[in-house]
Structure 1
């Protein structure tokens, strides 16, 4: 379990993290979202003992990271895949970590196989690795000591679609076995798929936290929202309007602020065959994120009339 309590970090009058508190529980993947400069990386650096807090504390199973004996066997960390010795081979990096943690050399081969780095690739110097290969090596290093907690900052950065799917499955399996995962990512779709709970930070403050379903429900104003696609969306839209609904055209179909059952009944009454009917998840997560962090976004929203 990760417990962050009233965490604050200031630099020469600038407050990077402002009274942040949250808990990441075992058996769950917690997504950590926020715009660039919101305080995510600073919070994670404090949690892993790299940056001292000005006020508050971050505890791993009730202990400060710096006080954990042989921390690599308790907490797996990947904060920057590029921060690895460029002149060493991937195998050498894992071997040195294994020696430091007192692990058998066989563990190195197990991790290389787990992250799909071949023997030939493992003997190449890291400076010749792609970003995706460095991410795989960093994940191998984080998992080397078979820790109970994982703290990962943008681990999907540089991975191709197959690699992202692999990482998602890996983290889901890890959490399902009772592990605690804190995952920072700017890939909202990936967070939507894998996260059980979500924390949103902006300007160093927590602006929302809860289960994914709770936050999505709140973002829709407490109402259900459904995505629907049919063989004739124009006719379906007329049917929904006739049923007192206000459908919105979105990419690939329509979004309606009612439950799927009501949408299905309207389609049945109009004789329109449905191709897809599901809760409106992905777009809702993006809308929620943009709404909650609107005051901290560098970019302005582009509308049909120009810049909003």
Structure 2
């Protein structure tokens, strides 16, 4: 389990993280989302003890990361694959970690095989690795100690579609075996596919959190008709907020309400369904639309509140 409690991090007059609180539970993948500069990486660095919080605290498995006697056996971390020593080979990097953690020597070969790095690739210096190879090496290092908790920042960067699918299955399998996964990624579709819970931050503050299904279900209703202008007018007249898409309307109301308005207006519908099919991207863009502006002052939104995606 990962527990972040009222964490704030200030750099002089700049507040990078502002009173962020959330929990990543065992057996679940928690997607950690936010625009660039929102405070995701700073929060993750606080969790793993690389950045001290100004106030608040973060605990992994019930204690601070820095108090874990052999952290790699409990927590696997990948924050920046490019930070690996370019002058060492992939095998050397894993071997150093294996010796530091006191693991059996064949664990290195097991991890190289798991992440599909060949003997020839493992013998090359990391400076000659592609980004995707660095990511695979970083994942191997994170998994080396068979940790219960994984904390990964953009782990799919540089991976091809097959690699992304492999990564998804790896994380899902880890959670299904009872592990805790905290995953940050800009690949929103991958988060949508693999995550159980979502935490969204903007300007360093939490703007939404809850289960993926609850947050996406709160996104409203997606509807298609051959008369979108008439339907939009009818919905607006009924007090329903309407958002325009490429070929659909999305209404901030449940499907029953939208269907009732369309029926009363005599407008036939082609499609009527909850807007979770519109996906995480739409929800993310709405939740973070204002967070790049100075003076952002929204209150945190939780899954149990109505209009979480509004």
Same fold (TM over 0.5): yes
- 1:177 and 1:151 mapped to 2: Cα distance? 16
Map of 2:4 onto structure 1: 4
TM-score (norm 2): 0.81
TM-score (norm 1): 0.81
Residues 127-166 of structure 1 aligned to structure 2 (within 5 Å)? 127-166=127-166
Kept after mapping to 1: 8 A contact 2:216/2:275:
no
- Cα–Cα, structure 1 residues 125 and 217, in superposed 2: closer, same or farther, change >3 Å? same
- 1:245 and 1:15 mapped to 2: Cα distance? 41
Kept after mapping to 2: 8 A contact 1:41/1:153:
yes
SS in 2 for 1:4: strand
Cα deviation code 1:89-148 (max 9, x no counterpart): 111100110000000111111111111111111111111110011000000000000000
Map of 1:29 onto structure 2: 29
**Root-mean-square deviation over aligned CA pairs:** 3.1
Map of 1:304 onto structure 2: none
How far residue 213 of structure 1 moved from its aligned partner, in angstroms, is: 1.3
Count residues in correspondence: 284
User: Is 1:288 equivalent to 2:289 in the alignment?
Assistant: no
User: Is 1:42 equivalent to 2:37 in the alignment?
Assistant: no
How far residue 82 of structure 1 moved from its aligned partner, in angstroms, is: 0.3
- 1:202 and 1:5 mapped to 2: Cα distance? 17
Cα deviation code 1:170-213 (max 9, x no counterpart): 00000000000000011111111111000001111111100011
- Cα–Cα, structure 1 residues 260 and 70, in superposed 2: closer, same or farther, change >3 Å? same
How far residue 287 of structure 1 moved from its aligned partner, in angstroms, is: 2.1
Kept after mapping to 1: 8 A contact 2:223/2:270:
no
Kept after mapping to 2: 8 A contact 1:47/1:65:
yes
How far residue 288 of structure 1 moved from its aligned partner, in angstroms, is: 1.7
Map of 1:193 onto structure 2: 193
How far residue 250 of structure 1 moved from its aligned partner, in angstroms, is: 5.1
- Cα–Cα, structure 1 residues 250 and 16, in superposed 2: closer, same or farther, change >3 Å? closer
Map of 2:106 onto structure 1: 106
SS in 2 for 1:56: strand
How far residue 262 of structure 1 moved from its aligned partner, in angstroms, is: 11
- Cα–Cα, structure 1 residues 35 and 258, in superposed 2: closer, same or farther, change >3 Å? closer
Residues 223-242 of structure 1 aligned to structure 2 (within 5 Å)? 225-226=221-222
Kept after mapping to 2: 8 A contact 1:202/1:293:
yes
Residues 1-308 of structure 1 aligned to structure 2 (within 5 Å)? 1-218=1-218, 220=219, 225-226=221-222, 280-281=275-276, 283-297=278-292
SS in 1 for 2:190: helix
Kept after mapping to 2: 8 A contact 1:226/1:259:
no
Cα deviation code 1:156-176 (max 9, x no counterpart): 111111111110000000000
Map of 2:301 onto structure 1: none
- Cα–Cα, structure 1 residues 255 and 21, in superposed 2: closer, same or farther, change >3 Å? closer
Q: Which runs of 5+ in 2 are unaligned?
A: 237-241, 263-268, 294-310
Kept after mapping to 1: 8 A contact 2:203/2:292:
no
- 2:66 and 2:243 mapped to 1: Cα distance? 52
How far residue 294 of structure 1 moved from its aligned partner, in angstroms, is: 1.4
Stretches of 4+ aligned residues off by more than 6 angstroms:
244-249, 252-264
Kept after mapping to 1: 8 A contact 2:33/2:199:
yes
How far residue 62 of structure 1 moved from its aligned partner, in angstroms, is: 1.0
- 1:20 and 1:263 mapped to 2: Cα distance? 36
SS in 1 for 2:81: coil
Q: Which runs of 5+ in 1 are unaligned?
A: 267-271, 299-308
